[in-house]
Amino acid sequence: MTIAYWCVLIAIFLPYVCTSIAKVASGRFDRKANHDPRGFQDGLQGLPRRAHAAQLNSFEALPGFAAAVIIASLAGGAQQGTVDSLAVAFIVSRVLYILCYLGDYARLRSLVWFVGLLLVISLFVAAA
């Protein structure tokens, strides 16, 4: 399995890291909250709410990234090293994005999000 494919697996788990942070940081997640976790998360504030928002955005970013990696890997237009490097850079950008979200660095978060988008586009371009 290529490094890029491993990066897809990592990207799949990032939203769950975020939701775990949201639940733990709230200090209020228990068995009762687990009966309606979405309702629980809708009522969060501060860091737990930002972690939940990072979770949602991580799910939104995942399909495009996974498709870009698969297409770049199978299309044959890109060297595998290029695909791997772009995929690793995307994962780094997503981790930085999550950290910016948690730290409430809105402008930097938006910039890092844009870099991640450019990396996904770069994977498609590399496949061409």
Query: For 90-126, how does the pLDDT look when each residue is reduced to its tens digit (9 = 90+)?
Result: 999 999 999 999 999 999 999 999 999 999 999 999 9
pLDDT of residue 35: 82
Structure tokens at 27: 């200090």
54/123 Cα distance (integer angstroms): 23
The long-range contacts involving 101-108, CB below 8 angstroms and separated by at least 24 positions, are 101/50, 101/51, 101/53, 101/54, 101/57, 102/21, 102/47, 102/50, 102/51, 102/54, 104/50
Structure tokens at 19: 């939701």
Q: 30 pLDDT exceeds 80?
A: no
Contact call for residues 94 and 11 (beta carbons, < 8 A): yes
For the stretch 3-21, pLDDT in tens is: 999 999 999 999 999 999 9
Q: Where are the domains of the chain?
A: 3-127
**CATH number, domain 3-127, options 3.40.50.2300, 3.60.10.10, 1.20.120.550, 3.30.70.260:** 1.20.120.550
Residue in 62, 16, 23 with CA at minimum distance from that of residue 39 = 23
